Structure 1
Amino acid sequence: MIATGIFIFLISCKQKEVTTEYLIDSTIEIYKKELPKNIIFFRGKGNINIKDTKNFIFLDAKGLLKRNDENFLYLGVTNNEKLKYVGILSFKTGQGFACTFDNEGKLLSKKVVQTKLEESKPYYIYYEILKRKYPDYMNWKLFPIPKDSLK
């Protein structure tokens, strides 16, 4: 009986592990009004080890192009000894949503930054989706996409 009580006490006192998925979900919750309902992230080298959850999924370039939805986001997560940083970039709005957490998962800061999008693989995927959805919007031939950027 005493051993069972000590075991339950030790389990309840165990420090909650702060996972990357928990930090991402927390960031999504903070910015849920500014983010799309169904969150789709571009799967890149920086987020290859993060698993899909009920709140978000990852798709590679082929999946995004097949889906033909320009509302996808890019996720960047940085962990160091003192801080954990989660950044979400919307190619549709050009806004970056950032949260900084301590090692226990406590929110230290949050900010929204209007960014100027630079050429990158997700940028070209976004551009190709717009080109497919809105072919008459502009003369797309004036600004070609590099051939290897959509692979």
Structure 2
Amino acid sequence: MASNGRRLLVFLAVAAALPLLLLPASVVATDVEYCRQGRNYPVKVSGVEIVPDPVVSGQPATFKISASTDKSITKGKLVIDVKYFFLHVHSESHDLCDETSCPVTGEFVLAHEQTLPSFTPPGSYTLTMKLLDDGNKELTCISFGFSIGFISPLALI
């Protein structure tokens, strides 16, 4: 009798989770702030999209940054710093031309996919991204928050 009760409980949990799996990954525009308010950066950021949102530990997440510039940028790098609440937890640097096609001019998108380790703690994070030209001059600097969820809908199955 106890095994029938367990089967029913598992069936109900799977039935409750199934609609979550049929929904498309969440696409939500993320609020972006410039690092220095009022500064006239040569690269203007119009938005950030994170899929899925919230990010799931151990699963790939895509960060897309929409931007524009009236300059022609042939080389550069992205410098990314991540804080968990107020603690610095991660830094990385990428070649600009690995993240978008160069030369960059007009409207463009920087897209980066990352799989966070499965042991990454859930909660609120802040990502700061600087775009530097080949002379290390700051072309833009933005900051935005993102969340890592407590549980993946797939973990319910």
Structures share fold, TM-score greater than 0.5: no
More helix by share: 1
Give the TM-score normalised by the residue count of structure 1. Answer: 0.29
Give the TM-score normalised by the residue count of structure 2. Answer: 0.28
